[in-house]
DNA sequence: AAACTATACAACCGCGTCCAC
DNA sequence: AGTGGACGCGGTTGTATAGTT
C-alpha cells in the first residue's frame, strides 16, 4: 500500500536502532522528507541514511518533526475539547486530534493519561465544567445532548457544516455509531505548497505549473501527506483563506516551508473528503466562504468520498 | 547530597485494515 | 481468493526530569 515495486526492492536486513532520537537523526529525517517526501516509509530510513525502521521514522515525523505542530501546554479550550470529544468518541485519539490543530493523537493520549483522566475521576473538579456545558448534568450525557454537532461547535469553535440543522442525528445513535459525529474528514492526497501570497518565486510558480520545469518542485509534488487533514491545516478562527491555512497565521515562502520555519503557509491539493453522512455541499459552502475562492467548483461525488 | 518516587512524554508493540500482486 | 507488506491506531512501556524524603 503506497509503495511501488521499485521502492520495495533491495531492502537490506539491518539491525534497527531503538530509543530516543538524536538531533542528528532528526536532522537527517527532516531534511530527507522535506526534500523528497516520505513516499514509502520503509524506504525512508534507507534513503535518509538512518538505522531506524520505517515505522519509527513515521512516528517521529508525525509526532515531533512535522511542520505545524504545536508544542507546550494545552489551553483551557483544548482541554474542554478533549474532554467533550472523549465523552462522545471514547479513546479515539486520532479522531479527537482532528479537532485540535497542531496536536497529535499521541500528545492528546498522553495528556489524557497524565492529567485529564485523573481530573474526570474527581467529580467535584469537573462538576462546574459539566454544569457549564450541559444543562442536565445529573443524567447520562449521551441521552441528553440535543445535537452532537452543536456540542462539537461549542467546544471547539468549529462549524463543519455551516449550520447545525443540516444534520440530524438521533441522540441514541451516538453510542451506536460515533463516526457520524465527525465533520467530513478532508485528506491531503498530495501535500502541495502552492504559493506564497506575498512572494511568488520560481519554485512556487513551477509548482503551480505541476513542477514541469523544476525537478525540485516536481519532487515536491510527490510529497505524500495524506496524514494531514484539513481541520489541522485550515484556520477556522477567522483568518482569510489566502493566509494561514497551515500555521494559522501569516504566510511563508517555499524556502520557509522547506525549512519548516515559516509562520504560515498556504496549501492546496487534490483534497479528498470523506463523507461521513454529511449533507452535501454544506462543507463546500464553507470552503467558498472566504474572499478568495480556493476550491474550484467541480466536486466529484462518489458514494463515500468527495473529491475536489 | 543521595536515594527514592511521581510525573510527563517519547517511543515501541501488536493488531486490524487496506491494497497490490 | 489468498497472501504479504505497509500503514494507522490505540495500548503499553521506557526514560528523563522534577519533586520529596
Q: Using DSSP, state whether A64 is helix, strand or coil.
A: helix
Residue nearest to nucleotide B11 (CA to C1'): A19
Using the structure, give the distance in angstroms from the CA atom of A123 to the C1' atom of B5, rounded to a whole number: 26
Helix (H) / strand (E) containing A300: strand A300-301
Using the structure, give the distance in angstroms from the CA atom of A47 to the C1' atom of B5, rounded to a whole number: 43
Using the structure, give the distance in angstroms from the CA atom of A118 to the C1' atom of B6, rounded to a whole number: 14
C-alpha cell at A273: 473528503
How far lies A171's CA from each of A51, A123, A144, A168, A223, in Å?
Answer: 50, 24, 7, 9, 41
What are the backbone dihedrals phi and psi of residue A281, each rounded to the nearest 5 degrees, phi first?
75, -20
Q: pLDDT per residue over A170-228, tens digit each?
A: 333 333 333 334 333 333 333 333 323 223 333 333 333 333 333 333 333 333 333 33
List every span in chain A annotated with CATH 1.10.10.60: 23-65
Using the structure, give the distance in angstroms from the CA atom of A187 to the C1' atom of B20, rounded to a whole number: 22
State how far the Cα of A110 lies from the Cα of A93, in Å rounded to an integer.
10
State how far the Cα of A223 lies from the Cα of A267, in Å rounded to an integer.
12
Indicate if the pLDDT at residue A141 is higher than 50.
no
Strand B nucleotides within a 7 Å radius of protein CB atoms: 7-14, 18-21
Query: What is the predicted pLDDT for the residue at A1?
Result: 53
Helices A123-133 and A76-89: angle between axes, nearest 10 degrees: 90
Strand C nucleotides within a 7 Å radius of protein CB atoms: 4-12, 14-16
Q: pLDDT per residue over A22-77, tens digit each?
A: 888 888 888 888 888 888 888 888 888 888 888 889 888 988 888 888 877 888 88
C-alpha cell at A164: 447545525
What class has domain A23-65? Answer: mainly alpha
Query: Average pLDDT, stretch A145-160?
Result: 37
What are the backbone dihedrals phi and psi of residue A223, each rounded to the nearest 5 degrees, phi first?
-60, 120
pLDDT band at A88 (very low <50, low <70, confident <90, very high): confident
Query: Average pLDDT, stretch A141-152?
Result: 35
How far lies A109's CA from each of A46, A82, A116, A118, in Å?
Answer: 30, 10, 10, 13
Query: Average pLDDT, stretch A287-308?
Result: 29
State how far the Cα of A128 lies from the Cα of A112, in Å rounded to an integer.
19
- Strands A267-268 and A271-274: what pairing? unpaired
Using the structure, give the distance in angstroms from the CA atom of A250 to the C1' atom of C7, rounded to a whole number: 33
Amino acid at each position: 500500500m503506497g509503495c511501488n515495486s521499485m521502492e520495495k526492492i533491495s531492502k537490506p536486513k539491518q539491525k534497527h536502532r531503538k530509543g530516543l532520537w538524536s538531533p542528528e537523526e532528526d536532522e537527517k529525517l527532516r531534511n530527507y522528507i522535506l526534500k523528497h517526501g516520505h513516499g514509502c516509509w520503509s524506504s525512508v530510513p534507507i534513503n535518509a541514511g538512518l538505522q531506524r525502521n520505517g515505522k519509527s521514522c513515521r512516528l517521529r515525523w508525525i509526532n515531533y518533526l512535522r511542520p505545524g505542530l504545536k508544542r507546550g501546554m494545552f489551553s483551557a479550550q483544548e482541554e474542554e475539547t478533549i474532554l467533550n470529544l472523549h465523552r462522545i468518541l471514547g479513546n479515539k485519539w486520532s479522531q479527537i486530534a482532528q479537532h485540535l490543530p497542531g496536536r497529535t493523537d499521541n500528545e492528546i493520549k498522553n495528556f489524557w493519561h497524565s492529567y485529564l483522566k485523573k481530573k474526570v475521576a474527581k467529580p467535584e473538579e469537573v462538576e462546574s465544567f459539566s454544569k457549564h456545558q450541559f444543562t442536565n448534568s445529573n443524567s447520562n450525557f449521551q441521552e441528553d445532548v440535543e445535537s452532537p454537532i452543536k456540542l462539537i461547535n461549542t467546544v471547539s469553535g468549529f462549524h463543519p457544516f455551516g449550520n447545525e440543522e443540516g444534520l440530524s442525528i438521533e441522540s441514541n445513535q451516538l453510542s451506536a455509531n460515533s463516526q457520524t459525529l465527525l465533520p467530513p474528514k478532508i485528506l491531503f492526497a498530495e501535500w502541495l505548497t502552492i504559493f506564497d501570497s506575498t512572494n511568488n518565486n520560481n519554485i512556487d510558480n513551477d509548482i503551480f505549473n505541476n513542477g514541469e520545469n523544476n525537478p525540485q518542485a516536481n519532487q515536491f509534488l510527490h510529497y505524500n501527506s495524506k496524514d494531514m487533514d484539513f481541520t489541522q491545516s485550515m484556520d477556522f478562527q477567522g483568518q482569510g483563506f489566502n493566509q494561514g491555512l497551515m500555521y494559522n497565521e501569516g504566510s511563508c515562502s517555499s524556502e520557509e516551508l522547506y525549512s519548516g520555519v515559516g509562520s504560515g503557509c498556504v496549501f492546496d491539493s487534490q483534497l479528498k473528503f470523506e463523507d461521513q453522512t454529511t449533507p452535501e455541499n454544506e462543507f463546500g459552502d464553507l470552503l467558498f466562504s472566504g474572499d478568495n475562492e480556493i476550491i474550484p467548483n467541480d466536486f466529484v461525488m462518489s458514494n463515500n468520498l468527495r473529491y475536489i
